[in-house]
Amino acid sequence: MAAATMSIEPFTRSFTQQEPIPEAAIAAAVEVMRSGRLHRYNTIEAEVPAASALERAYADYQGARYCLACASGGTALQLALRACGLAPGERVLTNAFTLAPVPGAIVAAGGRPVLVETTEDLVIDLADLEVKAAGSGARFLLVSHMRGHLVDMDALMALAGRCGLTVIEDCAHTMGAAWRGRKSGNFGRVACFSTQTYKHMNSGEGGLLTTDDAELAARAIVLSGSYMLYERHGAAPPAEVVERIRLETPNNSGRMDNLRAAILLPQLAELDANVARWNTRYRAIEARLARVAALVLPVRPPEELYVGSSIQFRIPGIAPDDARRFVVDARALGVELKWFGAPEPVAFTSTHASWTYLERQALPRTDRVLAGLFDMRIPLTFSVDDCRHIADIIAHCAERLSLEGAA
């Protein structure tokens, strides 16, 4: 009891402070600004604009044939759904545990989200998916690798094949991750990535779409607003593929500009090294929290190469007032936790009950999981020792809560 109630030094660093943009990226951005040619199609003879160069580089990194640089990850999701042929009012299966931009993209593209239960390890429930695929008549699954957790992708794709589902991968939290050595995003028909500030590369806002499907890539390029300048893309299908669909595909103006692309290109070279840095920090926190009896961490299967840019844990059966107090106690010691069981949205932690633009859906298993689920960012501005300190604070607050409950 003494160990749990002893004083502990507060943590004083910011959970929202990212690392500086690399000097090479700053120099590249300044060069674009000096040129005045920020629009991706504003080029001079023989020039390869930064947006096109990024598309080629990311396609090569991902091992995909085609890549499109977009205005945001949410834009990439909408373009992917439209390019796959989503019809107005059509149902789309997706995770119940995700962030609002995922069902938001489905609705913005004209679809109707059908939410699938989540497991205690925070991945899509394949048994519930199979039931809802049969019952909904959906043709599409937008699978969200929420907070970087990969479901068994071999089992998911086998199920999708049996059910006739086209899989769209939301890889906003799994850029650089893999399942059995195969990169996240290379399983479905199309994948979408985010380069928003809190993701694995930082351009403030931005997104990337990858696919091996030539016609899908062509439709996405025209949808993004190519103004028939599709030959200026760095990882595009042959022009004749675009020619077949260009006049029947509307312009939705979702392009990335050269300034953001210039900022991202040098970061791509550092991505794998940063994945290793994140995972070192994640494991330092995980090792400490695993020793706290009250906390349950999701199982990370050996087939999964994850990116530990955030960490999640559950306190099963915690009462709402205790959950609020736990968050407040941690915050008083400088640690910012998010609780997914809150009845009202807080920052990014909204849940399906808050998305009133969706049909109400019964998700009892997900609700039980979210009721005791806590989440924390792990910025690379934290050292490994910082992460151990943070974990000690979480453990301290959890142990104190347990002692109070036992009293």
In this structure, are 87 and 160 located in the same domain? yes
- Gap between the terminal Cα atoms of the chain: 11
The CATH number linked to 345 is: 3.90.1150.10
In this structure, are 258 and 346 located in the same domain? no
Determine what percent of the chain is predicted with pLDDT higher than 90. Answer: 89
Whether 12 is covered by a domain: the verdict is no
In this structure, are 321 and 264 located in the same domain? no
User: pLDDT at residue 406 above 60?
Assistant: no
- What is the pLDDT, as a whole number, of residue 2? 38
Token match 């937008």: residue?
A: 142
pLDDT in tens, 48-62: 999 999 999 999 999
Alpha-carbon separation of residue 279 from 7, 153, 159, 274, 384 (angstroms)? 29, 21, 30, 9, 10
Whether 338 is covered by a domain: the verdict is yes
Number of H helices, E strands in the chain: 14, 13
Could you say which of 268, 295, 319 is where a domain stops?
268
The CATH number linked to 54 is: 3.40.640.10
- What is the pLDDT, as a whole number, of residue 6? 60
In this structure, are 305 and 401 located in the same domain? yes
In this structure, are 254 and 340 located in the same domain? no
In this structure, are 275 and 255 located in the same domain? no
In this structure, are 264 and 378 located in the same domain? no
- What is the pLDDT, as a whole number, of residue 405? 63
Determine what percent of the chain is predicted with pLDDT higher than 70. Answer: 98
- What is the pLDDT, as a whole number, of residue 350? 84
In this structure, are 190 and 289 located in the same domain? no
In this structure, are 90 and 227 located in the same domain? yes
Could you say which of 226, 243, 268 is where a domain stops?
268
User: pLDDT at residue 45 above 90?
Assistant: no
Average pLDDT along the chain: 95
In this structure, are 250 and 311 located in the same domain? no
- What is the pLDDT, as a whole number, of residue 347? 78
pLDDT band at 5 (very low <50, low <70, confident <90, very high): very low
- What is the pLDDT, as a whole number, of residue 52? 97
User: pLDDT at residue 281 above 90?
Assistant: yes
pLDDT in tens, 155-170: 999 999 999 999 999 9
Partners of residue 255 on adjacent β-strands: 70
Could you say which of 216, 233, 268 is where a domain stops?
268
Total domains in the chain come to: 2
61 C-beta neighbours (distance < 10 Å), count: 18
In this structure, are 77 and 204 located in the same domain? yes
Whether 8 is covered by a domain: the verdict is no
HEC profile for 260-321?
HHHHHHHHHCCHHHHHHHHHHHHHHHHHHHCCCCCCECCCCCCCEECCCCEEEEECCCCCHH
The whole domain housing 295 covers 271-406
Q: How far apart are CA 92 and CA 81, in angstroms?
A: 9
pLDDT in tens, 227-265: 888 888 999 999 999 999 888 899 889 999 999 999 999
What contacts 46, CB < 8 A, 6 or more positions away? none
User: pLDDT at residue 292 above 60?
Assistant: yes
* Cβ 398 vs Cβ 294: under 8 Å: yes
pLDDT in tens, 202-229: 999 999 999 999 999 999 999 999 888 8
In this structure, are 348 and 239 located in the same domain? no
Alpha-carbon separation of residue 88 from 85, 320, 377 (angstroms)? 10, 39, 36
Identify residue 291 by its one-letter amino acid code.
R
Task: Kindly state the average pLDDT of the residues 282-301.
Answer: 97
- What is the pLDDT, as a whole number, of residue 376? 98
User: pLDDT at residue 3 above 60?
Assistant: no
